[in-house]
Each structure stands twice: as C-alpha cells, then as structure tokens.
C-alpha cells in the first residue's frame, strides 16, 4: 500500500538508491528536503548537478577534482618525490586530515580482486608506473588491510622493486582503545612486526 503521492515516492526511491541510505533514512531526507526553503533545494540540486558535470580525475594523481590538476599536486611545498598510493579519494582525505603527510598521492580507484573480476589493468597502475619515470625516492603503499588491499600491495611492490625505488607499506595493527583479546592473529602479528622504539 502506498502512503505518499507519486512525487514523494519517487524522491524516496531515488534517495534510497544512495549507498548507506535505507528506506527510513530516505523518507527522513525526503521530508527534510520538502520542508526546506525552495532556494536551499535549488542550491542543493545545483551543487549535485555541477559536481557531477565538472568533477573529473586529476591528470597527475587521479583524485577527484574540478580542476585539471588538483590542489595537492599543484602545491610546490609538497614533496613530489614521495608518493602515497591509496585505493580511493576518501582514503586520501583521511590521510590529509592528519596534516602530517607532506608528499603527494596516487589514487588507484579500486584494488585487485580476482573474485570480483578486477585485475591490475582495471585500476590506475599503468598511470602509477608512468609517474615513476620522474624522480621518485619512495612509494608508500597505503591500501586497506583487506585481502584485496594486501594483494594489491604485493603486486605493486613486485612491479616497483626492480626500478630501485624504495617501496614501503603503512603499518597496521591494534587500534587505539582495542582490547588485545578480541583482535585477530594477523592483526596482532602486523602490530608486532610494525613495532617502533619508545
């Protein structure tokens, strides 16, 4: 049984198609949008349309940007000889929030996953290898600790090592506030191997 008019149902349906938005959240968002002042709704819809039309990949690192070269790659104060390889733009943003990494990034837009049919040619590895023709001292592999992320890290490492460029992997291990008894063996082993001197 339908409770709402066609227009409301269509809005709820479109919103529930977004990742992480269930039907109840979609209904809440739909009614919030319907109660917003018309000019705010127009700003929201304009922002969505403009972003979809104007956002593209940075020609150097392949993050999402509305410019040909993103602000990080343009920044001459960044160390362009150190490249951190991440799976997606959200990972890049997470590292930028730390305000501690002064190098540049390379966004793969995925990870190798034979189960899903994603191979090395389906992510931005060829472009990474082209970037390494320039003067690069270190490549930091910051893919996730998942099976796909580990597979991708190993593959990238095997590709880069023959070039003589230093290849490192981010440390992973026990999360802050985590109880050791609940943490799996692989995570504990990585924490032990990645230990640092105090």
**Global pTM value:** 0.81
Give 129-135 contacts, CB < 8 A, sequence gap 24+. 129/159, 131/60, 131/83, 131/106, 132/83, 132/160, 132/163, 132/165, 134/80, 135/81
108: Cβ–Cβ under 8 A, 6 or more apart, which residues?
62, 85, 86, 87, 88, 123, 124, 125, 128, 143, 152
**DSSP 8-state class, residue 175:** P
pLDDT digits (tens, 9 = 90+) for 90-142: 999 989 988 888 999 999 999 999 889 999 999 999 999 999 999 999 999 99
At the top level of CATH, the class of 77-193 is: alpha beta
In order along its 198 residues, the chain shows pLDDT tens digits of 466 788 999 999 999 999 999 999 999 999 999 999 999 999 999 999 999 999 999 999 999 999 999 999 999 999 999 999 999 999 999 899 888 889 999 999 999 998 899 999 999 999 999 999 999 999 999 998 888 988 999 999 999 999 999 999 888 776 767 676 777 777 777 777 776 665
In whole angstroms, what is the distance from residue 67 CA to residue 38 CA? Answer: 30
Strands 64-65 and 103-107 come out as unpaired
The whole-angstrom distance between residue 116's C-alpha and the CA centroid of its chain comes to 18
């Amino acid at each position: 049984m339908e409770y709402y008019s066609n227009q409301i149902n269509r809005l709820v349906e479109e919103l529930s198609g977004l990742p992480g938005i269930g039907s109840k959240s979609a209904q809440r968002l739909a009614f919030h949008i319907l109660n917003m002042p018309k000019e705010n709704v127009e700003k929201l819809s304009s922002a969505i349309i403009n972003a979809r039309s104007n956002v593209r990949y940075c020609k150097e690192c392949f993050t999402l940007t509305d410019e040909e070269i993103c602000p990080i790659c343009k920044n001459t104060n960044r160390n362009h000889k150190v490249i951190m390889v991440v799976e997606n733009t959200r990972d890049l943003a997470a590292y930028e929030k730390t305000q501690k990494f002064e190098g540049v990034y390379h966004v793969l837009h995925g990870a190798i996953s034979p189960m899903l049919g994603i191979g090395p040619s389906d992510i931005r590895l060829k472009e990474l290898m082209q970037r390494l023709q320039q003067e690069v001292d270190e490549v930091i592999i910051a893919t996730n600790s998942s099976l796909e992320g580990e597979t991708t890290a190993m593959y990238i490492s095997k590709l880069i090592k023959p070039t003589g460029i230093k290849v490192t992997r981010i440390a992973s291990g026990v999360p802050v506030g985590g109880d050791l008894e609940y943490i799996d063996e692989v995570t504990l082993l990585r924490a032990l191997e990645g230990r640092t001197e105090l």
